[in-house]
Structure 1
C-alpha cells in the first residue's frame, strides 16, 4: 500500500468515483460549462473543467470535474478536449445551457472562439462573462488607452518602489504620520475614538485587481506629507544614485498640477467602480441587483461627465492649496510640458475638461456599453423572473414569454 503505483491507482479510483457521482447528480439534465486554461509548474498546458447545475432538490451546485492536458490553447484544441470529456462521460452537448469563460480571444471569440464553436452545435448554450472581471477590464482599458492616465500610474509604481524599497523608509512614513496625528489631536483638529486614527501604510496594488489601485491612491492622499518627506530624505541622504534621481523626479512630479488633477480624477472614477466591484463579488448578490448596480454606475459616470467638472476642480484646488502644489489659471493658454515652446492655441480649461475629463469618461462609458451587452442583460433579467425568493416576487409573465424565445426547445 506504500507503493507509488498503487497509491496513484487508488487516487484515480477515488477520482472516478467522485466524477461518476457528479454525473449522476446532473442526471442527464441541463447544465452549464465553465472552462479555464492554465499552465502548471512544469509549463504543461491544461484545462480545468467545472459543471454548474441544479440538483433534484433545487440546489445550485458547482462541481470540479478535472484537469485535461492539451497540446496548445487554441479554440479548436479546447473544443476537442471538451468533446472527448463529454463522450467519455456520456454527456450530450444539446443539454448545455450556459458557458462561462474568461475574456481571452480563444475562449470568447465571436467567430472562432470556444463559445462560438459550441454555439454552432447548440444555439441555447449562451455565453455569460463574469461581471466583476468585466468591470476590471473596463477600468484597465482607460489606463491603457489614455496616455496621461497611464503615465500617472507608471509614476505611482516608481513612487512605491522608492518609498517602499526598505523597512526604514516605511517606518519613516509611519513615524511621521504618527507625529502629524498627535499634533492634530493636541490642537483639536483631529477627533479621537474607537477605530479612528489607525496606523496606515502605503500599499502596493495588485496588477489584476484594480480595486486595490483605489486603496493605494486613498493612502497616497492620507500619507502625502509623510511621503514627500521620505522622498526629500532619499534625495539628499540616499546611498543609491538611481533612487536619489528617482526621488528628485518624483518630488517635482508630485508638486505639478497634472499629478493632483489625475489623482483626484482617478479617485473619483475608481471610487465609483470600486463600490460596484465590491458589490458584484458578494456571494449573496442576486442577478437583478447586480444588473441594476451596473446600470446605476453607468448613470453615475454620465452625471459626472455632465455635472462633475466644478466639484473636481474644487477638490484639485483644495489639495494644491493644502500642500503648496502648483496651481494654474484655467483661462490661460495651455502649455504642453513635452513641447513648451510650441503654442497649443487652447486654454487650460479646454485641455483638462475636454481632452482629459471628457475623454477618460467617454472611454469608461464606451467600455461599459461594450462589455455589458444587452443580450446577456436581457437573458439574466428574464431568468431572474423565475426566482422563488419572496414567493416569486420577481415573477413577470412578459419576461417568461421572452425567456421562451431564448430557449424554445425547453419551453
Structure 2
C-alpha cells in the first residue's frame, strides 16, 4: 500500500474534475442566465472596465488615502464609478429594478465578509427572494467597507445600506454569513435569548393586538384542538402547542449548531463510495480530506 495522496494531489485531482465538467464552465453558467440578468452584469462590468481604462490612460492612481463609506471623497476609482452610475440611466435602472422586484415582500440576507487587497475589511451583500412567478432569485446589492468586523459594526453597516435603498430590516426572513463569524455568533446569541426569554413578551404583544382589534384571546390552559382533526383529542394544552411545538421549534431550526460532529466520518466515506454516479474519484479524495480522515 502506498502513501495516501497529499493535499496537492487532491487539489489537482479536483481541479481536473472541474475542468472536465462542462456544467461548471463560465460559458455554461452564463448561458443559463436570462437576458435581463446578462444585461445587468454587463452594465456593472462595463462601468468598472471603463473607469479602469480612463485611470490607466491618464496614469492616475486608483486609490488614495481613504475609501470609507462616510468619506466625502473616496478617491479616483470609486468616485469615477459612482459618477458613471449617476450619469448612466441603465445602472440606475438596474438598481431600481432589483428593489422593485422585491417590493414590500420578504427576503433573505446573505453577507460575505472579507478583506480587499489592501487588507481593508469589506462585506458583500446579496438579497435572496422568491419572485412573483415563484422562482428563487439572488441579487447582489452592493459592497460596503467597514472599519472592523465586530457584530456591532457589521449590523450598523447593514442598517445604513438598508436605509440608503429604502428597505426594511423587518422584511428579512433569513440570514446567512460567510466569513462574518462575529455576526453569526451575535445572531445565535440573540436567537437564543429570544427562545429563553421572548415568549412572555410575545404573548403580551398578542394580547395587546387582540384587545385593540376586539379579537378573541386564546386561553392557553385549555386543551389544544387540531383544526385538521377537531374531534380527536390531542392531550396537550394550547400553551404546549404554541410555545413548544411552534415557538421553540421554529427558533431551534434557526439557531446555528454543530450537528455534524456526532457522525462516524469513516462510515460517511464508505457510504459515499456506494454512489459512484454522485461522487467522482476526486470528490471522494476531497471528502476524506475535508473530514480529516
> TM-score when scaled to structure 2?
0.40
More helix per residue: 1
Largest Rg, 1 or 2:
1
> TM-score when scaled to structure 1?
0.30
